[in-house]
A and B are shown apart, each in its own frame.
Chain A
Amino acid sequence: MEVTAANQNMGPIIGTAGFLFVMILILAFYLFNKLQLISVLKKNAEHLNRTIRELDYQAKMIIQGDMELKLYQEEVEDKLNKLTLLKNLIIASLHILDKEKLFSQVDEKTINDLGFKKGLIITTELEEKVNVGFESNEVEGIKDFILHKKQLVHALPLISAETEGTKEITNLLVTRDFLIAPVKAREKVYAIFILANMVMPIDVRRAEKEIFSIICMYLGQCLDNIQLFEEFYNAKDDLERKVKERTNELVKSLREIETISRAKTDFISGVSHELRTPLTSVKGFSSLLAAEKFGKLPEEAKKRLLTIDENVNKLVDMVNTLLDIARIESGKTEVKIAPEDVAKVMRNTGEFLSPQMHAKGINLVFDIPEMLPVYMDKNLIERVFINLLGNAVKFTPNGGQITLSAKINNNQALISVADTGYGIEKDNLEKVFQEFFRAENPAGAEVKGTGLGLSLVKRIIEMHKEKIWAESEIGKGSTFYFTLKLAKEPNL
């Protein structure tokens, strides 16, 4: 009974213990599971951490690799940009021949493209050519430096903060990122080019130094070209000035000659006029006296009177020719150019002078076409032929030949009067057209003349805007040529 009672008492205890046991088992299992889970999570976390670290490491590698690549690309691009800058500067300044204009090409953009914020070009004469960003007190300091360090300035290479002994300049510019180089013209330092404060806060690299050095050399080359041009221009200017001076002197002399010539013409014209009236009277009376209209004269007196009459004729002839020349020179002679048959005029003149030729036994030959229409003043050209033919008769010895010729040559009429006289010295061929010139030849002394005929002939031909010239061979004769413009039909 006691056992039963005891058993009855033990039952709940055993049940509770069993429950507790089961609970402990469950808890233990749970804890075990949790511990396992924590362990897995820990492992996962560690793994994740490792992965993140790995990813971070890879990210670092990627960024570092990418940076190297980009840096290389940046350098290449930077160099290309600087080359473009140089190319643009060269294109813009290639034909500049003015110093101010040349330096104006170095503007803010150029300075910035070179990689700097400030730029200054100052000559050794302390003249400011370019100033981008430099304050006036800084410029004064630099001027002072140039003034007091002349020797240094004239031996200046390209310098930067890395160059030894530049502490003074570094202090002066208050920066370490600067470049200074000389701009040389004809091997002498013309100006100092200063770049300061880089746009990007990086150190001055080799690329900046190289391009800066090239630009300074290029500016120097441009200055050389400008100086050469200026010298050339000045020389040309000087030459032009001298030519102008000489031309003015010549014009002045020509005007003086023209004035004198006009005075001479006026004088000759005046004198000839004054002479012609009394000469007409003298001529009239001398002719009447010689013809014994006032009574018979002693033989000696008649002989003298005939000489007077002959000389008066010569004088009248000279006065008339002089008057004609004077009229032509003064422009008073009216020229009436019209289409005319020059062949007809030549034949008529030949016939007109045939008695003189006949007297000397001279043979007159016509080498002319039936008709040759030309533009001419008929009366004036008649005078030309009378003078030329008259001269030919005078200078052709007895039994000689005179040839009157006319032909078409180079679309113009070429007229010639040839004789078989003594000829003219080569040196005198031009002079025979001068007033009062008389060539020295064996017949010269014997032949009477005024020395004005050929001068008048030349003037008449020139009035026609044509040419006249003479060709001659001593002992064989002379030929006088002149040209006339061809006309379609003569004004018959």
Chain B
Amino acid sequence: MTKPWDATSEQLLRELAPQVLGSVARRFHDFAAAEDAVQEAMVAAFTQWPQEGVPDNPRGWLIQVACRRMTDHVRSEIARREREMAVAAEAETFSPTLEIEPDMDPDDTLILLFMCCHSALTPSSAIALTLRAVGGLTTAEIANAFLVPEATMAQRISRAKQTIKASGVPFRLPSRHERVERLPAVLHVLYLIFSEGYVSSIGSHLQRLDLAREAIRLTRSTKTLLPDNPEVAGLLALMLLTDARRAARTGPDEELIPLDKQDRTLWDHAEISEGVELLTAALSKASVGLYQLQAAIAAVHDEAERVENTDWPQILALYELLKRVAPSPMVTLNHAIAAAMVYGPGEGLELLRALDGDPRIAGHYRLSAVRAHLLEKMGDHEAAIKHYRIAAARTTSMPERNYLTAQAARLADD
């Protein structure tokens, strides 16, 4: 009565996780305990299914195992702990009978997403809880991705659930109005998971969970749940259009290769097409938001087969829009790069001067790195070397420090 475990099984299991959790949480009216129970059911499935095969009704299997764990949990609240250990040990070998689950609700995944990305949580807690409760990942996988001990990650998740409990969020879909209000927080968490995939990528040759891919998967399922929201589509497009350049982004020794030096034949053209298609559909709708604009900029880069074909005037126009929609010093910085590409490095350097007085970015390595790059284009190598070195000393990213140090050395060797 089982199917063999194959490449699609893991994906299936992860997609079932939030549905199972929704069902169990609703039945027991206890999100925190239900989330632990589903995690245990997931771990049991990951242990048993590859050997014994995937059950015919995988969701029913997971729900039954999780409910059994919940029953244990409830009992352990009233009975002695020792006796419960014996029950739990028994449950390890428990083989559930099939039962079609009647109370499955397609909105459950969405409820969970809004719950886990609640503004009461710190970003790192929201990220961890979202990956586990919505993404169906195990604590060990998440801990490994963030390079922290499993016990630490377990604590982070358990604390996040306490915070949710204390904030009294009910387990139901937020109203239309609330959803509009809270969606930016959800999208921000998904965006952070994607960035984390790069930031914690030191030693990426090690067997580790691919957070960028997980972020894409979660955003894809969010897009299925909120198909008409242009910013959800915009975020998914942005991730795909950025991820498409991944293979070209680092060299054999994991050294950084900037956009203008990348081998564009290594870009993932399927991801680019999908991103462009999503973006085109999103832009045809009413409002243009932060993620759609960033995706549009990424698309202009991705559509240039050769670096000299990049449509810089269009990128510049998009940054001007972005400066109005979501002003930030980082946007001003990127706007200066685009202006330099259109009007020459002098124009870019002039725009950077405005940022020197902005405490949010004045000491940031990116400002020095961009200045160094533009000074080099002006032909002022001495000043460029100085600013490359300032930037290298300020970054907290190892590959970036290596890259910037090498840029300074390249100019100094000439």
A and B associate: no
Residues of A whose CB lies within 8 Å of any CB of B are none
Interface residues, chain B, CB within 8 Å of chain A?
Answer: none
